[in-house]
Amino acid sequence: MPLADTHAMQLHLKEIARHVARGAHAILLLDRAPWHVTGKLKVPKNITPIFLPSRSPELNPVEQIWAFMRANWLSNRVFDTYDAIIDAACEAWNKLVAAPETITSIAMRKWAHVGRTL
């Protein structure tokens, strides 16, 4: 998505809901970005959002993912064009997606899996 906004979040929620197994329920950890907390969202019945405390990026797994990507593939570089920035970000994202064990090691929060064997 080119923008992080209410429309993009609504599509994201719809896609998550579509993949939740019948009879199951998803818990979605979210920061307090404006497009996460707007009353304009229609949260599907099979999803419950849990909002992280304000100003606590250390609790947000996505913040840790971005920090990893910056540290390993995006820092200390000069980009000549906007397209070069987009290309570098896509390349970094694809490297990360190709290493799911790395994503797990960065983003896993044991407290989010209480009662579940991992």
Low-confidence ranges of the chain (pLDDT < 50): none
Measured distance CA(97)–CA(44) in Å, rounded: 27
pLDDT of residue 108: 80
In-domain check, residue 116: no
Final residue of a structural domain among 33, 53, 73: 53
Instruction: Tell me the one-letter amino acid at 70.
Output: R
In-domain check, residue 117: no
pLDDT of residue 111: 64
What's the mean per-residue pLDDT of the chain?
89
pLDDT of residue 62: 83
Are 4 and 31 within one domain?
yes
In-domain check, residue 101: yes
Measured distance CA(55)–CA(64) in Å, rounded: 14
pLDDT of residue 114: 58
Domain of residue 21 covers 1-53
Are 40 and 64 within one domain?
no
